[in-house]
Each structure stands twice: as structure tokens, then as C-alpha cells.
Amino acid sequence: MSTNADALAALWLPFTPNRQFKPEPRILARAEGMFYYDPQGRELLDGLAGLWCSLAGHGRKEISSAVAKQIHELDFAPTFQFAHPSVIELAGRLAAMAPANLDHVFFCNSGSEAADTALKIALAYWRAKGQAQRTRLVGRVRGYHGTNFGGMSVGGIANNRKAFGTMLGNVDHLPTTYDRAKQSFTKGDPEYGAHFADALEELVMLHGDTIAAVIVEPMAGSTGVLPPPKGYLQRLRQICDKHAILLIFDEVITMFGRMGTATAAERYQVTPDMITFAKGVTNGAIPMGGVIASKAIYDAFAQKDDWQIELFHGYTYSGHPVAAAAALATLNVYRDENLFERGRLIERWLEEAVHRLKGAPFVADIRNCGAAAAIDLEPLTGAPGKRGHEAIRRAFFDEGIVLRVGGDTIALGPALIAEQSHIERLVDGVDRVLRRLA
Ligand code: PXG
């Protein structure tokens, strides 16, 4: 198959400068373990586990076999008023993995759908509880909850919002937890910044009892790996409890070992009312997402008569059998290879390696949290985002590594099967690319 610019004409890629990309496309044709391969067979080290999703590495036969078996046995089955064995088993396994009391799983197909599902559950929950005035949703500056209307509205990344009009009206935002002046080059979670949670008290002062829910990423991934300041999540939980506000953790990046634990909730010992997940649930092999909700939330919908539908929400592919089979096989791999624990090892290796880049050209800050790290570059004067942009992405591709560059930030989040040598190779590659650009 040709991959020249003409062949690419019909394709409209997401979050991509299509016109610049097509004449010089970066094509990934095959993947195995820690590597992608281009159509010529050149090896590219995957520094971001796909897009934070292939935690057990690529090409896992356990998953592809389970997918093939399931597709032969039951290719599709509705979950509107039916169920099937794989989705039943998966719900149980995910509920067992989540903190105690989070034990009802609603399935969808992506992180964006998971965010919108959780926000809708929050609104419907308050209506079911007779507090229909609670309609305000609170996100956070620099938050990312996908690109559907709800997630975009509570999200806090300007470029993802500004072209799309007014969106959901009843939305507010907490401030970001990042303050470079006080946190730069911190290893792990910063000491400074728990007080950023107090902004929620101010929103309560302003909006009274109309706030339905707060949604945050425990570790903000796609904005460039912002670890939670020490005590911040605990404080947010306390304020939510005080004012009866639901707390949603968007764990689309953090669940399944990225934080060295099953969930970030477990790592930080803070239990939200709902967790959203996606990506790693199937190792990225088949789209799937979902929401794990507390018993209190699930039970609140049980006030209607038994024959009545509790929640008028769902997707044709909610709990798709093939995705559920992929997820069950994935969870087995995570368990059999102790990959969540391995996340801690990777965290240590990554922390050691990435902070060596301090002093390399353009490096303005370095952060790490769990098996993730980010390097902020000084922006080019008058063109924020340009330095980190295509030139660098191209340079990485030429260097034989695949890394995420968003704005002027380089993010690293290798698969949890990574060896220390892979991490050294990634960081050395970043170093070489930066020195070449200097
Ligand atoms: N929530 C969080 C916390 C995410 O990170 C989504 C929701 C949306 O998921 P879907 O499956 O709808 O894309 C995400 C997605 C990056 C990057 O470069 C991150 C995401 C997606 C693409 C790129 O960091 N996160």
C-alpha cells in the first residue's frame, strides 16, 4: 500500500496538523513489545505505551487470542436489557480492583464517553436524591477529560475549547495545581500546592448548594504530567464531603498500574465517588471505557419501581463482548506479570534518568509521578508550542523513538514491561534531540 501524500488525501487525522503531516507522514505499520515498526521495518522505541494505553506492551498474544475466540463465539450482544458472560465477569473483576465501596461498573467505549457518563450520572444522582438544583460541574484548569461536550466543558485546556462555542453553561474550574516558581524540578509530588484545593470552598461560597460534582485527574497526564501536590487530593475529598459534592477521579491514564497501584485512588488513599477508566483496560487493543460508581450512587437510582429504567443513558457498544474479552485477557496479563508493582520500579528508573536532563538545552522544568514524566521546554518567543511542535516530533521519529510532544512539553510514559535500558535509551534520545536543536 502506498503511503505518499496522495494516498493520505482522504484521511483527516485528530489533533494533527494534517497539511504538514501528509507530505512527510510517520507511518506505524506493526508493533511488538516495546517497539513500533515503520513499513520498512525500522524499529521505533515506544515511549508512551501507544497513547498511555498499551501497558503490557504491544502484540500480546494472550489478548489477540481471547479477542479471536470471543468474536467467533459471540461477536455482538446488546447490553440494553441483556447481558453476556464476559461483561458480567469483567464488571466483577473491575469492582474488585477499585477501592472498597466503588462497586458498580457502567461501560462505554472511550475516556471521553467515560467522562460524559460520569458527569451525567452525577447530575441524575442529585435529581434522584431530590436535589435537582445541583447542576453545576467543576473541573480544573489544565484538566483533560476528553473531547465530547461534557468532558470538553469541564476540561481546562484552552485550545480544546475555544473553537466550540459556549458548551455546557453550568461549569466552573479550580485553578491548576502547577506553580513553576514553587515546584520546578521536583522529584515526585511537590510539597507546595495542597491549598489549591481550597478554591473549591470559594466556589461553594459563590454557588452554594448547586454544585453536583468535581472532576479531576489525580495526576494530570495529557497536559504534561502534573503530580498532585502532597495532601491536595485529601483536602479536595474533605471539602467535597463537607459540602456533599461528588468527587470524580478521571483515571483514564492512571488506572491499571501507571501509578504503581491498580488505581491512583489506592496510591493516594483517597476514595472518590466515581472513577472513570479507559485505555489500559484492554491494553489499548480494543476501544473500551467505563465508570466505577459507589454503592451509594447506584442505590440512589433504586427508588423507582423495579420495572422502571434507572438511568436513561448508554451506548450500542457499552460492554461490547469483544472488548470485554480483551479486557479480561488484559487483566490476567497485568496480574500474572505483576505489572502494577512493576510500575513502581519504572517510576524509580524514570525519575533517576529524566532528571539528568536538567541543564540540557531549553529545559525549563522536569516532573515525574508514577511511571510518567514530562520535560517542559522554554517556548520560542512569540510562538508558544512551536519549539515542541513538528520539528521535535520529526526529530524523535528520526531518532527511532515515539514520544508525545504537546505544546512545549515532552511526555514519557513507557509500558510497564519496560527495562531500565529502554528508559535510558528514551532519555538519551531526548538529550540528543535537544542538543541537536540548540
Ligand atoms: N480523560 C483523561 C484523563 C485522558 O487522559 C481522556 C479522558 C479521553 O479519552 P479518549 O479515549 O476519549 O481519548 C483522556 C485521553 C496525550 C494524550 O498525548 C492523552 C489522551 C488522549 C490522547 C493523547 O497525553 N488522553
| Distance from Cα 154 to the centre of ligand 1, integer Å | 14
Q: Which of 139-148, 199-208, 255-264, 299-308 has the lowest mean pLDDT?
A: 299-308
Nearest to 281 by CA among 248, 242, 246, 255: 255
The amino acid at 13: L
d(CA 164, CA 126): 28
Ligand 1 atom showing the smallest separation from residue 115 Cα = 7
Q: How far is the CA of 405 from the centre of ligand 1 (A)?
A: 14
What CATH number belongs to 63-336?
A: 3.40.640.10
Q: Is the CB of 110 under 6 A from ligand 1?
A: yes
CB 404 less than 6 A from any atom of ligand 1: yes
Backbone angles phi, psi at 61, to 5 degrees: -65, -30
**What pLDDT does residue 1 have?**
60
The model's pLDDT over 166-224, given as tens digits with 9 standing for 90+, comes to: 677 899 999 999 999 999 999 999 999 999 999 999 999 999 999 999 999 999 999 99
Spacing, Cα 34 to ligand 1 middle (Å):
20
Ligand 1 within 6 A of CB of 223: no
pLDDT at 162: 84
d(CA 366, CA 409): 9
221 lines ligand 1 (CB under 6 A): yes
Has residue 165 got a pLDDT over 90?
no
Lowest-confidence pick of 34-38, 134-138, 368-372, 380-384: 380-384
Dihedral angle of Cα 139, 376, 403, 421, to the nearest 10 degrees: -120
Ligand 1 centroid to Cα of residue 187, in Å, is: 24
**Overall CATH class of domain 18-56+338-437:** alpha beta
Does the beta carbon of 250 lie inside 6 Å of ligand 1?
Answer: yes
Q: How far is the CA of 388 from the centre of ligand 1 (A)?
A: 19
Nearest CA to ligand 1 atom 24: 222
Question: How far, CA to CA in Å, does 408 sit from each of 181, 245, 363, 372, 434?
Answer: 17, 35, 10, 17, 12
Q: What is the pLDDT of residue 394?
A: 78
How many whole angstroms from 263 Cα to the centroid of ligand 1? Answer: 16
Specify the ligand 1 atom closest to the Cα of 114: 7
Query: Within 13 Å, how many C-alpha atoms sit on residue 424's CB side?
Result: 3
pLDDT in tens, 57-69: 999 999 999 999 9
**CA 151 to ligand 1: nearest atom:** 7
- Distance from Cα 206 to the centre of ligand 1, integer Å: 31
Any idea which of 93-107, 154-168, 423-437 has the lowest mean pLDDT? 154-168
Closest ligand 1 atom, CA of 406?
A: 18
Candidates 55, 149, 252: which one to mutate for ligand 1, based on the most atoms within 8 Å of Cβ? Answer: 252
How far away, in angstroms, is 253 Cα from ligand 1 center? Answer: 7
Ligand 1, atom 20: closest residue by C-alpha:
222
Residue appearing with cell numbers 467515560: 114
Q: Of all residues in the chain, what percent carry a pLDDT higher than 90?
A: 88
Residue 128 CB less than 6 A away from ligand 1: no
Whether ligand 1 lies within 6 angstroms of the CB of 290 is answered as no
What's the pLDDT at 166? 66
**pLDDT at residue 388 tops 90:** no
Look at 252 and 389; give whichever has higher pLDDT: 252
Q: Where are the domains of the chain?
A: 18-56+338-437, 63-336
